[in-house]
């Protein structure tokens, strides 16, 4: 497997996709991020796993050869009539109406909607009806650079995955400081308000660089997502905290994980704008509780 380039180095999603392909994948995934190329590369990798006859993207079976040659009868890409908007007829004709037909040769029938944020309300409502009662073989991949444009009901019925490319700062934190940082993260899950306040002050005092805290937290959440998606401990970064990470992966819902990531993004923006750092850490740690 090629492991070069920004997109394919995101082990978090690729490891989880591999586990999902060999098990029972969800009926709908939202793959979100800022780089369309990364979203497309990740979804293509998942598609190769799902449609491969051995579910490991072997590149040799007939299904893999179909994909390599540019087509597979069980892969449908929903293409809008006009760029910038996906109308209800695009979803009805390209997805809803077709999903009642069983796969031709694979276990799954995959529907890809790029720029899912282009769907208007009517198109999203048409998709929602399918998400409420999907066939066992149907897998829908929604790629989006602006997930907030999707209806909350669509988000709640999908596994929402955020593609975080590049490093997340953990490797830039001195080893002796990592233990202190992950102990604070771990303690936040069971802390009361006073404990959260004290931990936030400790973070601000002990780590003068917000980049270390924000980067460390993103790495922490990344590992929780790896474990929640696949349980593949060998692909985690923070090996020192595996027991705590396993517990968090079990307890957190996908909504809670994405809420933490959203609050992390907000905190980073506010800190860079000069807002009190300790206050932002308090907000972050409270959301982790």
Is the overall model pTM greater than 0.75, yes or no?
A: no
For the record, the structure tokens of 267 come out as 């905190």
Contact at 8 Å (CB) between 185 and 68?
no
- Judged by DSSP in three states, 190 sits in coil
Q: Give the tens place of pLDDT for each residue, 195-224.
A: 999 999 989 888 888 888 888 888 888 788
Residue 142 pLDDT > 90, yes or no? yes
- For residues 21 and 147, state if they share a domain: yes
Rounded Cα distance between 114 and 86, Å, is 10
Least Cα distance to 63 among 13, 109, 31 occurs for 109
Could you read off the pLDDT of 147-188 as tens digits, one per residue?
889 999 999 898 888 776 444 556 667 777 888 888 888 888
99-113, 212-226, 267-281: range with lowest mean pLDDT: 212-226
34-82: pLDDT as tens digits: 778 778 877 888 888 888 888 777 888 898 888 888 789 999 999 888 8
Range of the domain at 33: 7-162
Eight-class DSSP state of 119: B
Angle between helix 254-272 and 210-229 (nearest 10) = 170
Given strand 28-32, what is the order of strands in its sheet? 75-77, 109-113, 138-144, 28-32, 159-162
Band (pLDDT 50/70/90 cuts) for residue 1 is very low
pLDDT at 101 over 90: yes
Let me know whether 136 and 188 are in one domain.
no
Give yes or no: residues 133 and 216 share one domain. no
- Indicate if the pLDDT at residue 255 is higher than 90: no
Give a yes or no: residue 1 inside a domain: no
Pick 117 or 269 by higher pLDDT: 117
> In 10 A of CB 16, how many CB atoms?
23
Residue 2 lies in a domain: no
β-strands 75-77, 28-32 pairing? unpaired
Handedness of CA 123, 125, 128, 133 (dihedral sign): negative
Residue 196, pLDDT score: 92
Alpha helices, DSSP H only, in 133-276?
A: 152-156, 175-188, 193-206, 210-229, 242-251, 254-272
The residue out of 119, 137, 162 marking a domain boundary is 162
Angle between helix axes 11-22 and 36-51 (nearest 10 degrees) is 20
- Asked if the model's pLDDT at residue 119 lies above 90, the reply is yes
Residue 72 is part of a domain; what is its CATH number? 3.40.50.300
**Residue 209 and residue 119 in one domain:** no
Confidence at residue 56, expressed as pLDDT on a 0 to 100 scale: 74
Mean pLDDT score, 131-136? 90
User: 47 and 175 in one domain?
Assistant: no
Domains contained in the chain, number:
2
pLDDT at 20 over 70: no
174 with 158, same domain: the answer is no
Amino acid 164: pLDDT? 60
pLDDT at position 4:
28
């Amino acid at each position: 497997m090629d492991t070069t380039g920004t997109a394919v180095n995101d082990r978090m999603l690729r490891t989880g996709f591999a586990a999902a392909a060999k098990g029972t994948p969800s009926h709908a995934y939202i793959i979100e991020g800022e780089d369309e190329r990364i979203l497309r590369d990740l979804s293509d990798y998942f598609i190769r796993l799902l449609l491969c006859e051995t579910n490991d993207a072997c590149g040799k079976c007939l299904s893999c050869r179909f994909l390599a040659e540019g087509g597979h009868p069980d892969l449908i890409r929903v293409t809008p009539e006009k760029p910038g908007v996906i109308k209800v007829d695009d979803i009805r004709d390209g997805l809803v109406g077709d999903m009642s037909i069983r796969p031709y040769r694979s276990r799954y029938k995959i529907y890809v909607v790029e720029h899912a944020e282009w769907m208007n309300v009517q198109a999203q409502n048409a998709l929602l009806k399918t998400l409420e009662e999907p066939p066992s073989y149907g897998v829908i991949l929604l790629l989006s650079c602006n997930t907030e444009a999707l209806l909350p009901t669509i988000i709640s019925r999908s596994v929402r995955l955020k593609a975080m490319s590049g490093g997340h700062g953990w490797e830039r934190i001195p080893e002796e400081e990592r233990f202190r940082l992950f102990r604070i993260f771990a303690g936040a899950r069971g802390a009361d308000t006073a404990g959260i306040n004290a931990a936030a002050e400790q973070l601000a005092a002990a780590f003068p660089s917000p980049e270390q805290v924000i980067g460390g937290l993103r790495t922490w959440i990344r590992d929780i997502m790896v474990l929640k998606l696949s349980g593949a401990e060998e692909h985690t970064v923070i090996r020192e905290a595996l027991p705590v990470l396993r517990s968090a992966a079990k307890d957190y819902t996908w909504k809670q994980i994405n809420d933490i990531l959203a609050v992390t993004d907000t905190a980073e923006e506010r800190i860079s704008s000069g807002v009190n750092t300790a206050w932002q850490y308090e907000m972050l740690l409270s959301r982790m509780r």
